[in-house]
Structure 1
Amino acid sequence: MDWSVIWSNRTLFTDGLWATALLSVAAIATGTLTGLVVAAVRTSRVPLLAQVARAYLEVFRGTPLLIQMLFLYFGAAYLNLAGITVFGAALLALTLYQGAYIAEIFRAGIEAVPRGQWEASRVLGLSRTQTFTTVILPQTRAIVLPPLVGQYLSLVKDTSIAVVIGYVELVRQGQAVIDRAGDPATTYLAVAALYFVICYPLSLVVRRMERKAVTA
């Protein structure tokens, strides 16, 4: 292995790391919001909306992210999204895909809150929306945080799939380094190390949360 390959191509690796981090943070934000909304709809008392949310979950959890990303980008013209960028397509695909899994995490957390909390809030005169936002969600947060951060780990690694539509993230920049230097072993080792730099702190957070949950 030629370790000088990493240093001489540090700009490409840094750009790839930044692109991956940017996509990850954006997808975490939009995926979490999507998941929370879908979970709220699924646990609502509106059967039609609950069925629509269920259909969304079945579609996006039952099909590969790779296919969804390819469809959203290359099939954008059929959806009247001709102006969609590579970043936009990657973000939309990750949001819809990860949002479906995050929705189930939130739903499980919401349903874990005792029903008595809803009844007590109703007795106090709170509306269902007020109960959800001020009583249920604060209690749900402690329940869902460990699996939620674990899902974020999966999301960060899934950003590598965006290479198939041309998004210039870590893997794509790694391929550029290989084209330039011809050392795939060193290059992919560097790419893996950079993913580790992003993911390891999140894994430590998950472990800490799980230990707290056990000792609580």
Structure 2
Amino acid sequence: MGSEEFIFLLIGLKWTVFLSVVGFICGGIAGLGVALARSSEIPILERIMAGYIAVFQGTPLLMQLFVVYYGLALIGLKLDAWVAVAVGLTLHASAYLGEIWRGSIDAVPRGQTEAARALSLKYVSRMKDIILPQALRISLPATIGFLVQLIKGTSLASIVGFTELTRAGNIISN
């Protein structure tokens, strides 16, 4: 293996890391919204988010990437391969992280929420100051485990023609 192949692998590594970071950060922002909507007391919002989570957790990531890349092109919205993979990973991550974080919000002892209500804290203040800091600690292991799964999922980007670390290694070995 020469220097050209090594540089090609480093470029693939750069894109794998970049896709993982974009998918995790954007998915985390959207996932927080999903988690807050699922733990809100608005029944229609909870049902919509439950459906969203069911769709994205019930379908493989590969199919989601196909739908974003090829499906949107069928309706006239042609996305670059990188953008399509980033959008697909973001949607996938938001569903999983939303459910992980909703579970950790629900795992905070009920007495904490009741005490915050007894102090007349509004929903935003109650979540920001009382519930979310405790939920963060609870959710950390599952969140890191999902990040590892997301990094592994970037290898599916090669299906839509994007060259990341796994694809670069495959090209070199062939």
TM (norm. structure 2) is 0.94
2:26 is paired with a residue of what secondary structure?
helix
1:74 to 64, 70, 75: 70
Q: Give distance in 2, aligned partners of 1:101 and 1:139.
A: 19
Q: Give distance in 1, aligned partners of 2:8 and 2:152.
A: 19
1:9 is paired with a residue of what secondary structure?
helix
Q: Which residue of 2 aligns with 1:151?
A: 146
Q: Which residue of 1 aligns with 2:86?
A: 91
Q: Give distance in 1, aligned partners of 2:118 and 2:76.
A: 49
Alignment of 1:170-189 (within 5 A): 170-178=165-173, 182=174
Q: Within the alignment, does 1:114 sit opposite 2:140 as a pair?
A: no
Q: Within the alignment, does 1:9 sit opposite 2:44 as a pair?
A: no
Q: Which residue of 2 aligns with 1:39?
A: 35
Q: Which runs of 5+ in 1 are unaligned?
A: 183-216
> What letter is aligned with 2:148?
L
Q: Within the alignment, does 1:27 sit opposite 2:23 as a pair?
A: yes
Q: Give distance in 1, aligned partners of 2:110 and 2:11.
A: 49
Q: Give distance in 2, aligned partners of 1:145 and 1:36.
A: 14
Flag the structure with larger Rg: 1
2:59 is paired with a residue of what secondary structure?
coil
1:51 to 47, 57, 75: 47
Cα distance change of structure 1 residues 134 and 80 upon mapping to structure 2, 3 Å threshold:
farther
Q: Could you report, residue by residue, the CA deviation over 1:23-60 in whole angstroms, capped at 9, with x for unpaired residues?
A: 01111101111221111111111110100000001111
TM superposition shift of 1:68:
0.8
* Paired residue total: 174
Q: Which runs of 4+ in 1 moved over 3 A?
A: none
> What letter is aligned with 1:140?
A
Q: Quote the RMSD (CA, aligned, Å).
A: 1.4
Q: Which residue of 2 aligns with 1:130?
A: 125
TM superposition shift of 1:8:
4.5
TM superposition shift of 1:105:
1.1
Q: Which runs of 5+ in 2 are unaligned?
A: none
Question: Could you tell me the percent identity over the aligned residues?
Answer: 39
Larger CA deviation: 45-54 vs 93-102: 93-102
> What letter is aligned with 2:16?
T
2:161 to 157, 166, 169: 166
Cα distance change of structure 1 residues 32 and 13 upon mapping to structure 2, 3 Å threshold:
same
